[in-house]
Structure 1
Amino acid sequence: MEVMFERVAGIDIGKATLTVCVRTPGDRGRRRRSETRTFKTTTGSLLVMRDWLLECGVTIAALESTSTYWKGTFYCLEDHMQVWLLNAAHMHAVPGRKTDVKDAEWIAQLLEHGLLNPSFVPPPDIRQLRMLTRHRVQLMGDRTRETVRLELMLEDASIKLSTVASSLTTVSARRMLAAMINGQTDPVKIADLALGKMRVKIPDLAQALTGNFTEHHATMAKAILRRLDLVEQAIKESDEVIAAACAPWQHEIELLQTIPGVGEKVAQVIVAETGADMSRFPSAGHLAAWAGVAPAVNESAGRSWTAGTRHGNKWLCAILIEAAGSVSRMHGRNYLAEQHQRLASRRGVKRAQVAVAHSILVAAYYMLSRDEPYRDLGADWYLRRNNEAHTRRFVRQLEKLGHTVHLDPTA
Structure 2
Amino acid sequence: MLMHHAEPTMGEVSKTRGDVHAYAWVVFALTVGLLLSDYMSRQVLNAVFPMLKSAWGLSDTRLGSLSSVVALMVGVLTFPLSVLADRWGRVRSIVLMAAMWSLATLACAISTSYGEMLLARAFVGIGEAAYGSVGIAVVLSIFPVRMRSTLTAAFMAGGAFGSVMGMAIGGAVAAHLGWRSAFCAMAAFGLLLVIVYRIIVTEKRLAPLQPAGNSVKAAGLDMRMSFRALMKGLFSTRSIVCAYVGSGFHLLVPAALWAWMPSFLNRYYDMAPAKAAIGAAVFVMVTGLGMVVCGILTDRISKNAREKKWLTAIAFCVACFAFLAIGFQMPAGPLQLVLIGAGMFFSAGATGPSGAMVANLTPPSIHASAFATLTLANNLLGLAPAAILTGIVADKIGLLGALQLVPFAPLLAAIVFFIGKRTYARDLDRVATLREEASH
Shorter-chain TM-score range: under 0.3
TM-score (norm 2): 0.23
Structure with the larger helix share = 2
Q: Which gives a bigger RCO, structure 1 or 2 (Cα 8 Å, sep 6+)?
A: 2
Structure with the larger strand share = 1
